[in-house]
Amino acid sequence: MSELVAPGQATVTVAADLLAHWWSRPVAAEVECWLGAAELAADVRRQLSAGPDDELPHGAGEVPALLDEYERLFVGPGQVPCPPYESYWRDDVPIDLWHSLMGPCTADLHRLYNGLGLDLDPAAGELPDHVAVIFEALAYALSLPIHGQVAQMLVASHLGPWLPRLCRAVASEARHPFYIGLATVTLHWLGHIERHVAPPAEVEPGTG
Q: Quick one: pLDDT at residue 3? A: 54
Asked if 27 and 132 count as a contact pair (C-beta separation under 8 A), the reply is no
The segments of the chain whose pLDDT lies below 50 read 5-8
Q: What is the dihedral of CA 129, 19, 189, 40, to 10 degrees?
A: -160
**Which residues constitute the domain of residue 167?**
11-197
**Total count of domains within the chain:** 1
- Assign residue 105 the CATH number of its domain: 1.10.3480.10
Q: Is residue 208 part of a domain?
A: no
- Contacts of residue 85, defined as CB under 8 A and 6 or more positions apart, other chains included, come to 101, 127, 129, 130, 131
Q: Is residue 79 part of a domain?
A: yes
Average pLDDT, the chain: 86
Bridge partners (DSSP) of residue 130 are: 85
Q: Is residue 204 part of a domain?
A: no
Asked if 6 and 125 count as a contact pair (C-beta separation under 8 A), the reply is no
Q: Quick one: pLDDT at residue 9? A: 52
Q: pLDDT digits over 128-178, tens only?
A: 999 999 999 999 999 998 899 999 999 999 999 999 999 999 999 999 999
Q: Is residue 148 part of a domain?
A: yes
